[in-house]
């Protein structure tokens, strides 16, 4: 191990700046944006995450409510239909994991693109893929903003993403390509993960496998955004083996205070944008839709 210490990146300041921007935008509305968060309240991780979101929503000027998923898939579908039709709700976030029998994209379709702040509705995902102004999934957007905070411009940067899910890896690859980074996207079937990650100036890891990324996965001085948050008997863990990479990596993001607070701030921003779009006079909305 070298004498150089690895820098720990926390996203709290960036999140506070984003929340202040959201609060200023929300202040232009007659009443605060209303967001309903649906979560599996029996799942300790989802409960803790949704409680943390509700506690910080006021910082972004948002009125947030939490509800448990109704029991069966058909009851949950009816619950989502009711949220879609409720004029007093501007936006809804459906925390993963969804109960068995419910698909995140099908659920977003039921909710409608207007109120879907997870960016999973095919219109949102399609707009992002097509290079049109879009509402990207909050985690992907948070990774982009953290990368820009660390590196400034991303043009020409070699970035390897570990994890190709629809809420993190895939939308993040699109956002990074739009920022002119060179992107490699890995997943569970990637044959030689270390060969791909060792090429990168920045590794973004979102696999949910504690200890997956060690010193042999990184070139010296590389930065790692550790997106994963896995509950273990020893507490919350990311994908990075911190002891192994200390002194070798240039920077590693803190778990859970690295990408996590920025993700929440990006979700809040999506809520404020959803409320502004919904409450815009119909004539103006028609003029700007094209």
Residues binding ligand NAD (CB under 6 A): 96, 139, 142, 162-165, 167-169, 186-188, 190, 193, 206-209, 212, 227-230, 259-260, 263
Other beta carbons within 10 angstroms of residue 262's beta carbon come to 29
Cβ distance to ligand NAD smaller for residue 195 or 285: 195
What is the nearest approach in angstroms of ligand NAD to the Cβ of residue 283? 38
Q: What is the 3-state secondary structure (H, E, C) of 35-87?
A: EEEEECCCCHHHHHHHHHHHHHHHHHCCEEEEEECCCCHHHHHHHHHHHHHCC
Cβ distance to ligand NAD smaller for residue 76 or 227: 227
What is the nearest approach in angstroms of ligand NAD to the Cβ of residue 78? 25
Cβ distance to ligand NAD smaller for residue 61 or 260: 260
What is the nearest approach in angstroms of ligand NAD to the Cβ of residue 141? 10
What is the nearest approach in angstroms of ligand NAD to the Cβ of residue 140? 9
Cβ distance to ligand NAD smaller for residue 91 or 204: 204
Cβ distance to ligand NAD smaller for residue 111 or 207: 207
Residues 6+ apart with CB under 8 A from 30: 279
Distance in angstroms (rounded) separating the CA atoms of residues 197 and 17: 31
Cβ distance to ligand NAD smaller for residue 157 or 240: 240
Distance in angstroms (rounded) separating the CA atoms of residues 191 and 264: 33
Distance in angstroms (rounded) separating the CA atoms of residues 60 and 34: 12
Cβ distance to ligand NAD smaller for residue 32 or 256: 256
Give which of 186, 63, 168 is closest to 118, Cα–Cα.
168
What is the nearest approach in angstroms of ligand NAD to the Cβ of residue 97? 9
What is the nearest approach in angstroms of ligand NAD to the Cβ of residue 281? 35
Distance in angstroms (rounded) separating the CA atoms of residues 150 and 238: 19
Cβ distance to ligand NAD smaller for residue 6 or 263: 263
* Vertex 150 angle, CA 9 and 212, to 5°: 55
Residues 6+ apart with CB under 8 A from 258: 9, 10, 11, 146, 225, 226, 252
What is the nearest approach in angstroms of ligand NAD to the Cβ of residue 89? 23
Strands 34-39 and 63-68: parallel
Classify 91 as helix, strand or coil.
strand
What is the nearest approach in angstroms of ligand NAD to the Cβ of residue 144? 13
């Amino acid at each position: 191990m070298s004498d150089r210490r690895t820098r720990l990146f926390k996203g709290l300041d960036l999140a506070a700046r984003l929340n202040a921007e959201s609060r200023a935008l929300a202040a232009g509305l007659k009443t605060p944006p209303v967001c309903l968060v649906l979560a599996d309240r029996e799942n300790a991780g989802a409960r803790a995450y949704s409680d943390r979101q509700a506690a910080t929503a006021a910082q972004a000027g948002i009125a947030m409510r939490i509800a448990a998923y109704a029991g069966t898939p058909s009851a949950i579908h009816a619950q989502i239909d009711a949220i879609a039709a409720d004029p007093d709700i501007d936006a809804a976030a459906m925390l993963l994991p969804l109960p068995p029998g419910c698909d995140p994209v099908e659920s977003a379709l039921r909710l409608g693109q207007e109120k879907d702040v997870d960016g999973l509705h095919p219109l949102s995902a399609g707009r992002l893929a097509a290079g049109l102004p879009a509402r990207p999934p909050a985690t992907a957007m948070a990774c982009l903003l953290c990368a820009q905070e660390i590196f400034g411009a991303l043009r020409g940067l070699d970035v390897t993403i570990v994890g190709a899910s629809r809420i993190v890896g895939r939308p993040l690859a699109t956002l990074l390509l739009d920022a002119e980074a060179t992107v490699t996207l890995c997943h569970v079937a990637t044959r030689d993960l270390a060969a791909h990650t060792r090429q990168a100036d920045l590794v973004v890891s979102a696999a949910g496998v504690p200890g997956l990324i060690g010193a042999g996965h990184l070139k010296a001085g590389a930065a790692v955004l550790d997106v994963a948050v896995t509950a273990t008997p020893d507490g919350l863990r990311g994908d990075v083996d911190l002891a192994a990479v200390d002194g070798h990596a240039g920077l590693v993001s803190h778990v859970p205070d690295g990408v996590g607070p920025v993700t929440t701030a990006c979700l809040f921003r999506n809520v404020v944008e959803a409320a502004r779009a919904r409450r815009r006079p119909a004539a103006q909305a028609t003029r700007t839709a094209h």
